[in-house]
């Protein structure tokens, strides 16, 4: 049996790596400068918009108050994201291999995705309580659809030449799937995995804002009610850092498992 042809990934010049690191830092510095300037020019009250310095001070003064809230939210994101990836891949495989199941369930998935996820938060708390399970469920629901759609698109867009070649070599349907369709679907699948990684933090916060006793989302809600906007910004930034870390973990995984994809694109 045969595998998809492998193309060695292109090497990134040293200057390109420096730019990839330096430019985002410059962009962040510009945004922080605009933020700081806006507070000074418009003389905004720190309850409306604190300065970057006030946000940093809030974190430095009591870092443990924020750091203890990271792990519950991180666990909710990872559990929910992992379940969404596993379940989404299975569903995508099933509906891509059966036209009947595709016509039966794919429209329902589209309709379910149109439901505002915030509306499901209170229901999840009613079903599973204020514990971690209701938050994991919200992350799962929000991350599930991008994984299904992208994976389904990948499984159904295999180059016809590869499929015809596998048939000419008398490959079984299972062999064709694992040797041809699955590798060919990986680039498209990782698109959905990266989108879902960015949504995992949103799912966790939606769940925690609906009712939670710990987590960054619950901290954001508490600080907002107390008018502690600087503390609220710290929690938001920490949540963003976690989401960015999860996203780039998926990007790194893609580069490790699908190196040929970068070598075959412009």
Closest CA to 140 of 110, 154, 120, 111: 120
Closest CA to 125 of 109, 111, 136, 113: 136
94-119 tens-digit pLDDT: 998 888 988 998 888 888 888 888 88
Q: Which residues contact 195 (CB under 8 A, 6 or more apart)?
A: 146, 150
Closest CA to 259 of 12, 31, 1: 12
- Reply yes or no on whether the pLDDT at 18 is more than 90: no
Can you give the pLDDT at residue 189? Answer: 93
Distance CA 8, CA 108 (A): 40
Can you give the pLDDT at residue 1? Answer: 45
CB 189 within 8 Å of CB 258:
no
Q: Tell me how far the alpha carbon of residue 243 is from its chain's centroid.
A: 7
256-265 tens-digit pLDDT: 988 876 655 4
Q: What are the tokens at 56?
A: 């940093």
**b/e burial code for range 236-262 (CB count within 10 A of at least 16 → b):** bbbbeebbeebbeebeeebeeebebbe
Residues in the chain: 266
- Reply yes or no on whether the pLDDT at 9 is more than 80: no
pTM, entire model:
0.85
Compute the average pLDDT of residues 128-143: 91
Tell which CATH classification among 3.40.1050.10, 1.10.3720.10, 3.30.465.10, 3.40.50.2300 matches the domain 14-263. 1.10.3720.10
Q: How far is CA 180 from CA 17, 76, 85, 265, in A?
A: 33, 34, 21, 19
In terms of pLDDT, which residue wins out, 150 or 18? 150
Domain ranges of the chain: 14-263
Can you give the pLDDT at residue 2? Answer: 45
182-215 tens-digit pLDDT: 888 899 999 999 999 999 999 999 888 887 778 9
Residue given tokens 């985002």 in the structure block? 24
Distance CA 217, CA 208 (A): 5
Can you give the pLDDT at residue 252? Answer: 93
Q: Which residues contact 196 (CB under 8 A, 6 or more apart)?
A: 81, 84, 85, 88, 142, 143, 144, 146, 147
Can you give the pLDDT at residue 92? Answer: 94
53-102 tens-digit pLDDT: 999 999 999 899 899 999 999 999 999 999 999 999 999 999 988 889 88
Under the banding of pLDDT at 50, 70 and 90, the label for residue 225 is: confident
């Amino acid at each position: 049996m045969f595998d998809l042809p492998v193309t060695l990934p292109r090497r990134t010049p040293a200057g390109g790596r420096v730019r990839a690191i330096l430019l985002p830092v410059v962009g962040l510095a510009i945004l922080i400068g605009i933020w700081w300037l806006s507070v000074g020019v418009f003389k905004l009250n720190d309850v409306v918009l604190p300065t970057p310095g006030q946000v940093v001070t809030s974190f430095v003064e009591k870092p443990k108050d924020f750091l203890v809230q990271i792990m519950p939210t991180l666990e909710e994101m990872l559990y929910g994201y992992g379940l969404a990836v596993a379940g989404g891949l299975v569903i995508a495989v099933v509906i891509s291999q059966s036209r009947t199941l595709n016509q039966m369930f794919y429209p329902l998935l589209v309709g379910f995705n149109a439901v505002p996820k915030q509306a499901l938060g209170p229901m999840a708390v009613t079903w599973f309580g204020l514990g971690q399970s209701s938050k994991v469920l919200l992350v799962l629901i929000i991350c599930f659809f991008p994984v299904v759609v992208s994976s389904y698109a990948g499984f159904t867009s295999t180059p016809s030449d590869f499929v015809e070649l596998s048939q000419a070599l008398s490959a079984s349907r299972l062999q064709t799937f694992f040797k041809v369709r699955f590798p060919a679907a990986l680039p498209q699948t990782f698109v959905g995995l990266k989108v879902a990684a960015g949504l995992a933090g949103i799912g966790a916060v939606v769940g925690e804002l609906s009712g939670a006793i710990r987590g960054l989302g619950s901290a954001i809600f508490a600080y907002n009610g107390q008018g502690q906007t600087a503390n609220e910004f710290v929690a938001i930034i920490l949540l963003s850092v976690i989401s960015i870390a999860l996203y780039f973990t998926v990007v790194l995984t893609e580069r490790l498992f699908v190196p040929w994809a970068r070598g075959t694109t412009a």
